Amino acid sequence: MVRVPLTEAERERGERLGAALRAARGSRSMAEVALEAGVSVETLRKIETGRIPTPAFFTVVALADAVGLPLDTLRDAITGVPTG
């Protein structure tokens, strides 16, 4: 399977996702959050740094739950468009 290269907008969205999750993690360690979310520390690291710009939906949900970040708030941070 050949993966289509990501657009610049998709890469930027991945970077905003990573920044939002990193900010919500605060002073908690990557290991603590990764364990709670059920993902590897390396996966969390790659998402936070934008190296996985399009993680699986359920991974994003698990991470958002682990850091107490509502999905609406996360969506607003990623898109820059507030809901409601």
* Structural domains of the chain, ranges and CATH numbers in brackets: 9-77 (1.10.260.40)
pLDDT digits (tens, 9 = 90+) for 8-27: 998 999 999 999 999 999 99
CA 56 to chain centre: 10
List, in order, residues 6 or more apart from 53 with CB less than 8 Å away.
6, 10, 11, 13, 14, 15, 17
**How confident is the model at residue 84, as a pLDDT?**
60
> Bigger pLDDT: 82 or 10?
10
Taking Cα atoms as reference points, which of 82, 81, 83, 79 lies closest to residue 12?
79
Per residue in 42-56, pLDDT (tens digit) is 999 999 998 998 999
Residue 71, by phi and psi: left (phi above 0), alpha (psi -120 to 50) or beta?
alpha
Confidence of residue 2 (pLDDT cuts 50, 70, 90): confident
Q: What is the pTM of this model?
A: 0.88
Nearest by Cα to 74 from 54, 3, 65: 65
Percent of the chain with pLDDT over 70: 96
